[in-house]
Every structure is written in structure tokens, then in C-alpha cells.
Amino acid sequence: MPLDAEVVIVGAGPAGLAMAIALADAHFSVTVIDLQPRAALAAPAEDGREIALTHSSVETLRTLGLWSRLRPGEIGRIREARVIDGDRHDAALQFRSQGALGWIVPNHALRRVSFEAACERAGVRLQDAVRLVQVATAPSHVDLAVEHVADGSREALRAQLFVAADSRFSWARRQIGIAADMHEFGRTMIVCRMRHALPHHDVAHECFGYERTLAVLPLAGEMCSAVLTTDTASATRLMALPAAEYAALVETQFGGRLGPMHLVGERFAYPLVTVLSRRFTAMRSALIGDAAVGMHPVTAHGYNLGLQGVAALTRILREARDQGRDIGDAAVLAGYERAHRRDAVVMYHGTNAVAKLYAGQGAVQRLARQWVLRGAQNLPFLKTAIMARLTGRGGLQPPVSLRLGDPTQRR
Ligand SMILES: Cc1cc2nc3c(=O)[nH]c(=O)nc-3n(C[C@H](O)[C@H](O)[C@H](O)COP(=O)(O)OP(=O)(O)OC[C@H]3O[C@@H](n4cnc5c(N)ncnc54)[C@H](O)[C@@H]3O)c2cc1C
């Protein structure tokens, strides 16, 4: 049986599509398969996620030709970030930049532009409304079977390399025999957009209250994203509150800093489960995006890390092909495992530690929190290191760049 594509990717989410575009630009042939129908992929529904992007992610999005496709009203800027501890009014920790600490874009807009760009690449074939039902890896190739959602008919696909980008609860990961460690926080994040009377001045706030945590992120225009995290029973109750009551609760917890606040659209609830795959590669296979590392959203790094993985895997596959090597060879994939694990493990465990510290209500945790915040605020080198990690700029490890790109597409 001949190859259908050099690489087959399961999952046309933001990570899977970025991977497809990057590989097509590096002249690989790619097939992407996804459960959702074309119409849902082309015009993704709002899901309440506002994705904070580091500078290096924006550079990658420019290289892939995605950034210029976003509408001006979809790009918000974060100029300053303040961390508030407990019911104090002043910031315990503050990060500021002359330009931007980072950018913020709705997840559904990232999905839309990723789908548009992927469809325009001649090297990408998209199969929508199909479920991956079988993966069989062999030393020389990978055989896959997909089932058409419409009529249950099956189709076979063969590739040199299989890439799984089918979410943190990846079905494909299990099929290729990769174990994953999951952590259930027992907490749920409620996200929604809100309008407010006073300007936000592009300042993001993270307020660590003693019952719940509230992040207020500045969006384009006089709009913000309110991200409230609490235990799951309280979240169920809060989701059922009438819109005006919920808005009043957020406004009070935020100390009225933005004046009267009103809910815009729906609230979305995300139970918090983080996942770290024990390996990112198996025979002729690799994991990317949330299928590799499903991060806690508190440090806003899931998609950013996903793009780093895309850049790392693309670079390694391109180098292998240029050297005349087989792109599915275990020694080639080991390069991706090393590069991505180095970035992912520190970020994953660091983020989980922050999330646990701030979920704890005991006196010891409160003291630890104050100690950490004061330490970070008063030790310039620590503050610089945190800022470099948060923004993806000037860190100890330079971000992996795709270095592909068409300079005419830069904006
Ligand atoms: C509330 C919230 C806020 C966040 N904020 C940020 C942030 O500020 N910054 C940041 O960097 N990240 C953030 N993230 C994380 C970010 O949203 C994710 O990392 C990113 O969306 C993951 O993309 P993905 O492509 O890996 O997976 P997904 O978006 O989950 O896509 C998986 C795709 O696989 C398809 N699929 C699944 N199973 C199959 C199958 N068997 N057959 C065919 N197709 C299949 C699905 O249909 C889907 O299209 C946030 C997450 C949440 C929940």
C-alpha cells in the first residue's frame, strides 16, 4: 500500500493545525483528521478561553502567517500584570513593560485563522467528520483507520510518521502505548467576557482570594475576561446564578477596580485536570499540544508550550530529511523528546506547584504565599526570571524559532 502522506496528524485543534502548517511550509505532505465537521472547524464556536500569548508565540504565529489573519478587535495587549494576595488592595507583585508583556487572543479566533491557513497550503489534506479508530505502528510505517461519522464507513491511511494532537484526554496516546500522569485539582475554572465602566489600561490582575481566585485579563476595547477558580461544588452553584448576580459577585471580588461590570455572552466551566505524558514519542509517533502536556491555565502556557513543541518537532524533522534520514526513525524522534521535555517538565511542575499553593486556604499556605510574593517582588533576578518565563522573552533558554516564514506576511 502506498503512503497517503508523510505525516498524519490526528486533531485539527490549534496545535494540530499549527503543526500541519509548519510541516507543509517545510515541504512535507500532511493529512489532518478531525472528528468535527468542516463548518465547525471553519467557524469555531466561542468557548470563553482567551489565550495569553508570549512574544515568542507571536513570532511563531507570524512565521506561520496566522497573526496577520486576526482581526484588530481580536488582539488585546497586556502591558502590566499585578498579583493581589488575599483582601489587600495593593499589588503584592507587579510586572510592567514599556511595550507589551504579552498579547491576548480568543481561542476560537486562533482556531479559525489556523484552519483558514491550513486549507490554503497545498501540502495539507484535511479529512473532517472522521474519528480515528485504529493505530498500528510498524518499523517501516504507520497504518491508521478512520470512521466516517456520517455513515460509519471505514478508510485506511498509511504514513511515515503519526502525530497525535487530540487533546489532553488523547485516545491516540493510549493506542500507541504512552502512559500519562493526571492530576485532578477538584476545582473548576469559570470563564466569561465582561464589559466595564472604567478603562483597564491593559493591566491584567490575578487576585488570590481565600475562597476563590479571580483573574481579570484586559481584552481589546473596554472588555475583559473574568476567570474565576473555585471548588467544583461552588462552581456549579455560581454557573447557575443569574447573569446580573454573577457580574455583581465578580465586581465585588475585584474591589470595584473597573466600576460596574456586566456579563457579555455565556459563562463556560472547565474542570481542572492537568496531564503530563510519560513520553512524547513512541514507534513512528509523536505527541504535541495538550496530548503531550495538558497544563493548568493559571500561568497561561498550554498553547504557548504547544507552539514550542511544534517548532521543535518541525526543526528536528526538517534536519532529518535534509540529512537523508527517515523522519520516523527512533533516533530522530529522540531529539524531539529531549528538546520538548526540557521545556515542558519545568513549566508543568512549576505551574502545578503555583496552582496548589494558591488553592490552599490554611495559615501555612497563606504565609508561604506572602513569602513567595515578597521574595519575587524584592529580588530583581528572580523577578526577571519569572518575567522571562511568562513572556517568553529574554529567558535563560532562548525560545525555539521556526525560522521559516515569508517576511511579507509580517505585521
Ligand atoms: C480556560 C482555559 C484558558 C486557557 N488559557 C490559555 C492561555 O492563556 N495561554 C495558553 O497558552 N494556553 C491557554 N489554555 C490552553 C489552550 O487552550 C490549550 O493548550 C490548547 O487549546 C490545546 O490545543 P490542542 O490543539 O492541543 O487540543 P484541542 O484544542 O483540545 O484539540 C483537539 C482536537 O482533536 C480532535 N479529536 C479528538 N479526538 C479525536 C479522534 N479520536 N478522532 C479525530 N479527532 C479527534 C478534536 O475534535 C479537537 O479538534 C487555556 C485553556 C483553558 C481551558
Give the domain ranges of the chain: 5-182+274-409
| Cβ–Cβ < 8 Å for 228, 250 | yes
With 60 as the cut, is the pLDDT of residue 405 above it? Answer: no
With 60 as the cut, is the pLDDT of residue 397 above it? Answer: no
Q: How far apart are the first and last CA of the chain?
A: 44
Specify the pLDDT at position 82: 87
Q: How confident is the model at residue 243 (pLDDT cuts 50, 70, 90)?
A: very high
Query: Once rounded to an integer, what is the mean pLDDT over residues 167-176?
Result: 98
Local structure of 147: helix, strand or coil: strand
Closest ligand 1 atom to Cα of 133: 41
Residue 44 Cβ inside 6 Å of ligand 1? The answer reads no
Specify the pLDDT at position 373: 59
pLDDT in tens, 21-33: 999 999 999 999 9
Least confidently predicted of 23-27, 274-278, 340-344: 340-344
Least confidently predicted of 172-176, 203-207, 288-292, 329-333: 203-207
Local structure of 276: helix, strand or coil: strand
Residue 302 Cβ inside 6 Å of ligand 1? The answer reads yes
> Over pLDDT 90: what percentage of the chain?
73
Q: How many helices (H) and strands (E) does the chain have?
A: 11, 19
Query: Once rounded to an integer, what is the mean pLDDT over residues 70-97?
Result: 82
With 80 as the cut, is the pLDDT of residue 217 above it? Answer: yes
Q: How confident is the model at residue 300 (pLDDT cuts 50, 70, 90)?
A: confident
With 70 as the cut, is the pLDDT of residue 376 above it? Answer: no
Query: What is the Cα–Cα distance from 131 to 299, expressed in whole angstroms?
Result: 32
Q: How confident is the model at residue 358 (pLDDT cuts 50, 70, 90)?
A: low
Query: What is the Cα–Cα distance from 90 to 333, expressed in whole angstroms?
Result: 48
With 60 as the cut, is the pLDDT of residue 408 above it? Answer: no
Q: How far is CA 13 from CA 44, 234, 259, 289, in A?
A: 10, 30, 36, 9
The 3-state secondary structure of 351-389, one letter per residue: HHHHHHHHHCCCHHHHHHHHHHHHHHHHCHHHHHHHHHH
Specify the pLDDT at position 109: 98
**pTM as predicted:** 0.91
Mutate to test the pocket of ligand 1, among 9, 21, 49 (most ligand atoms within 8 A of CB): 49
Q: How confident is the model at residue 89 (pLDDT cuts 50, 70, 90)?
A: low
Residue 294 Cβ inside 6 Å of ligand 1? The answer reads no
Query: Once rounded to an integer, what is the mean pLDDT over residues 185-211?
Result: 91
301 or 367, which is more confident?
301
Specify the pLDDT at position 85: 75
Residue 193 Cβ inside 6 Å of ligand 1? The answer reads no
Geometric angle at alpha carbon 267, from 265 and 271, rounded to 5°: 155
With 90 as the cut, is the pLDDT of residue 298 above it? Answer: no
Closest ligand 1 atom to Cα of 303: 11
Residue 65 Cβ inside 6 Å of ligand 1? The answer reads no
Closest ligand 1 atom to Cα of 268: 1
Q: How confident is the model at residue 365 (pLDDT cuts 50, 70, 90)?
A: low
* Mean pLDDT taken over the chain: 89
Nearest residue to 7 (alpha-carbon basis) of 289, 320, 335, 328? 328
Local structure of 77: helix, strand or coil: strand
Q: Position 288: which residue type? A: I
With 90 as the cut, is the pLDDT of residue 151 above it? Answer: yes
Atom 38 in ligand 1: residue holding the nearest Cα? 166
| Cβ–Cβ < 8 Å for 197, 259 | yes
Specify the pLDDT at position 396: 32
Specify the pLDDT at position 406: 34
Query: Once rounded to an integer, what is the mean pLDDT over residues 217-234?
Result: 94
Residue 9 Cβ inside 6 Å of ligand 1? The answer reads no
Paired strand residues for 281: 286
Query: What is the Cα–Cα distance from 386 to 301, expressed in whole angstroms?
Result: 13
Tell me which fold the domain 5-182+274-409 belongs to.
Answer: FAD/NAD(P)-binding domain (3.50.50)
Atom 50 in ligand 1: residue holding the nearest Cα? 297
Residue 25 Cβ inside 6 Å of ligand 1? The answer reads no
Mutate to test the pocket of ligand 1, among 17, 31, 32, 34 (most ligand atoms within 8 A of CB): 34
With 60 as the cut, is the pLDDT of residue 248 above it? Answer: yes
H/E stretch holding 126: strand 124-127
